Amino acid sequence: MNSNQFSIHQVKRLLKKELDVRQLKTDIFKINPSLSDYSGSALWNLFEVIQQEKLIHIIFGKHNQRGYGTFVSTDKRLIFIDAGADEIIFKEVIALGNIISIDFSSLNNIMTVVIPQKVIEIELDYPQYGLPFCEAVNQLINNSLKIDTTEVSAIFDLVERLGKLRQTNILTEKEFSKEKAKLFSKI
């Protein structure tokens, strides 16, 4: 490959991507050292899948319906994947908002994820990472469910101001209702 084939911008982007993949590898090993045998191509593939998301936790185990794979938690979803050398095969993707519960039983080394459609059980190869995985996901779910009371108060203040604009005929009833609905959808 000739270096003249790439622009400076392309080279900078490739170098940034390389640094980001190295950081992902460091993060994975800090979270779960048992995944130290992840190949370079598997890391690149995983990076491509979650590059716009924050890695929360990662474990390896056997899905009760889909076989062995890696279970990844990001700040947006849980992803159960088979991270082969050439590509990542998605076995299960669950939005965090769909999780009813996630727990780990140290008695049988099973992590259980309950979603509206089904119950998923994953038998962990390294059970010491089961509880930290579940705690990290539960904390993330609980934090996303908390309503900021300051924000709610500010929304009510805005609705009150909109009401005054409606009373003085600056806003029509339809405009008021539309804006009020937008504000309440943020709560």
Q: What is the DSSP string of 67-130?
A: EEEEEEEESSEEEEEEE-SS-EEEEEEEEGGG-SEEEEETTTTEEEEEETTEEEEEEESSGGGH
For the chain, what's the residue count?
A: 187
pLDDT higher than threshold 60 for residue 146: no
Q: Among 44, 82, 46, 42, which Cα is nearest to 62's?
A: 82
Binned at pLDDT 50, 70 and 90, residue 150 comes out as low
Ramachandran area for residue 77 (φ above 0: left; ψ -120 to 50: alpha; else beta):
beta
pLDDT higher than threshold 60 for residue 35: yes
- Supply the pLDDT for residue 130: 93
- Supply the pLDDT for residue 112: 94
Helix 40-50 and helix 8-31: axis angle, to 10°?
100
pLDDT higher than threshold 90 for residue 149: no
Binned at pLDDT 50, 70 and 90, residue 147 comes out as low
Q: How far apart are CA 1 and CA 133, in angstroms?
A: 42
- Supply the pLDDT for residue 187: 62
Asked if 55 and 28 touch (Cβ cutoff 8 Å), the reply is yes
Query: What would the mean pLDDT of 48-52 be, rounded to a whole number?
Result: 80
Asked if 180 and 159 touch (Cβ cutoff 8 Å), the reply is yes
Q: How far apart are CA 152 and CA 154, in angstroms?
A: 5
